């Protein structure tokens, strides 16, 4: 269930009611909220002059499951606040100049939000799962997530991985039912609620397969996944024709994942990618300054 009260507001309201150690932690967080979304528990404890167990107890007092959950909620609230301050509008963009500005702002806000939620350990676990999998199946439904799943296939097949993508809910269940411990599902979902994705994750994990989910960490899908790359992709657009900015966050997560996997596999696939580039030259000449595949 989503939290309804802003964590930042709660910190401010309860600051004077906390004991000395709690006030030190809260004051440290409020002094630089953006930094607090990124630092480790050890560093926060040192800055506040308290012990690490104190930080954990403080996090739980604030209604969080632990320090990791505290940082996720803090990043979420911080990103939402910045979005509303920067993106509040009284009328839709109706000129080329206004549209350019509005779409650019939406893009940068989505990337800032995704970056604020980053979890390096989760990213490395997800990359390790993909790197070692015999087969990888990319799932997504809806306009944004389905397209990102297809892009995941496009990115990962170049790294000499056996990967495929589908947005078909029937195929989701069939693939999950035939998965084994050497396989991995890579699932993208903004809400983490589509039935086919949640059911498929549960089926695959029960059969020993790994499930990497790029999704809301508090969602039903996250609860079923082996590894969660946290991404709360906000979509509070006021105008129906404005593209969902959440897909930029999904693409950021995918680019980080595929780049890390590519770094680990570069020695094994380097020659193969060179051959691919050489063979593409026969289609449109030299590709020296062009991406592989145009």
pTM, 2 dp = 0.70
Query: How many C-beta neighbours within 10 Å does residue 39 have?
Result: 16
Q: Which residue has the higher pLDDT, 137 or 240?
A: 137
Residue 286, pLDDT score: 65
pLDDT tens sequence across 112-157: 888 878 899 999 999 999 999 999 999 999 888 999 999 999 999 9
Residue ranges, comma separated, of all CATH 3.40.50.10490 domains in the chain are 120-268
- Report the SS3 class of residue 214: strand
- pLDDT, the chain, mean: 86
By C-alpha distance, which of 177, 190, 175 is closest to 140?
190
Residue ranges, comma separated, of all CATH 1.10.10.10 domains in the chain are 7-84
Pick the CATH number of 7-84 from 1.10.10.10, 3.40.1710.10, 1.10.1040.10, 3.40.50.300: 1.10.10.10
Taking the C-alpha atoms of residue 103 and residue 111, their distance in angstroms, rounded to an integer, is 12
Edge-to-edge strands of the sheet including 210-215? Answer: 163-166, 135-139, 183-188, 210-215, 227-230
- Cross-strand partners of 187: 139, 213
Residue with tokens 């596999």: 265
Residue 1, pLDDT score: 39
Pick the CATH number of 120-268 from 3.30.70.980, 1.20.120.530, 3.40.50.10490, 3.40.50.300: 3.40.50.10490
Query: How many C-beta neighbours within 10 Å does residue 265 have?
Result: 19
Taking the C-alpha atoms of residue 25 and residue 31, their distance in angstroms, rounded to an integer, is 10
CA dihedral 14, 119, 183, 175 (to 10 degrees): 50
What's the start-to-end Cα distance of the chain, in Å? 44
Mean pLDDT, residues 6-19:
86
pLDDT tens sequence across 199-223: 999 999 999 999 999 999 989 999 9
């Amino acid at each position: 269930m989503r939290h309804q009260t802003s964590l930042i507001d709660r910190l401010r309201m309860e600051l004077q009611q906390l004991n000395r150690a709690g006030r030190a932690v809260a004051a440290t967080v409020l002094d630089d909220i953006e930094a607090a979304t990124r630092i480790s528990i050890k560093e926060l404890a040192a800055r506040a002059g308290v012990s690490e167990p104190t930080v954990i107890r403080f996090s739980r007092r604030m209604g969080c499951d632990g320090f990791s959950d505290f940082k996720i909620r803090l990043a979420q609230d911080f990103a939402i606040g910045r979005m509303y301050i920067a993106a509040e509008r009284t009328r839709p963009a109706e000129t080329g100049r206004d549209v350019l500005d509005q779409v650019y702002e939406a893009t940068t806000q989505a990337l800032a939000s995704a970056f604020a939620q980053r979890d390096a350990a989760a990213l490395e676990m997800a990359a390790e799962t993909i790197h070692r999998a015999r087969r990888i199946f990319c799932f997504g439904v809806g306009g944004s997530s389905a397209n990102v799943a297809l892009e995941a296939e496009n990115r990962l097949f170049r790294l000499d991985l056996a990967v495929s993508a589908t947005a078909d809910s029937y195929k989701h269940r069939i693939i999950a039912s035939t998965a084994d411990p050497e396989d991995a599902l890579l699932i993208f979902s903004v809400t983490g609620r589509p039935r086919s994705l949640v059911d498929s994750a549960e089926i695959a994990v029960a059969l020993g397969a790994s499930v990497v989910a790029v999704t809301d960490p508090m969602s039903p899908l996250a609860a079923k996944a082996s590894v969660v790359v946290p991404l709360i992709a906000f979509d509070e657009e006021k105008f129906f024709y404005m593209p969902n900015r959440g897909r930029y966050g999904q693409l950021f997560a995918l680019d980080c994942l595929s780049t890390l996997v590519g770094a680990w596999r570069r020695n094994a696939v380097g020659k193969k990618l060179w051959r691919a580039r050489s063979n593409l030259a026969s289609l449109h000449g030299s590709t020296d300054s062009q991406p592989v595949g145009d």
